[in-house]
Amino acid sequence: MSDAERIKKLEDELALYKINGAVGLYYELNRLVNQAVQYSRGRTIQSLISGDEKGDKTFERFLALIKSAKEHILDMEEIKIKLNLTGDEEKDKEKRPFVSRIAEPRA
């Protein structure tokens, strides 16, 4: 591995540490909730329960998915309030944590 490749790899790794994990979690939960909603839009109750006679667990899994999405939404609301997030992912990820701001050298 060349020095340039090694430096690029280390810079990429360092960038991961600069991202606020709580902000990343908020947007990851948002993605999961959106996927659950998208999945549910493509289904009807009839299609979910039609396989139950054969022991299919589709309906039970769907209910668990909806329940976890609800829990994710509650978690997201709490995170959004605590971190004062705007809903603009790029803008929120650019915000630097308080600890990083106070650690800057002062001139």
Q: What is the mean pLDDT of the chain?
A: 82
Q: How confident is the model at residue 51, as a pLDDT? A: 64
User: How many residues are there in the chain?
Assistant: 107
How many CB atoms neighbour CB 33 within 10 A? Answer: 18
Q: Which pLDDT score is estimated for 70?
A: 94
d(CA 85, CA 79): 8
So where are the chain's domains? 3-102
pLDDT at 31 over 60: yes
Give residue 91's pLDDT.
86
Per-residue pLDDT of 38-60, as tens digits, reads 999 988 888 887 765 666 788 88
Give the pLDDT confidence score for residue 38 in this predicted structure: 93
Contact predicate 59/49, CB 8 Å: yes
Tokens of 58: 């589709």
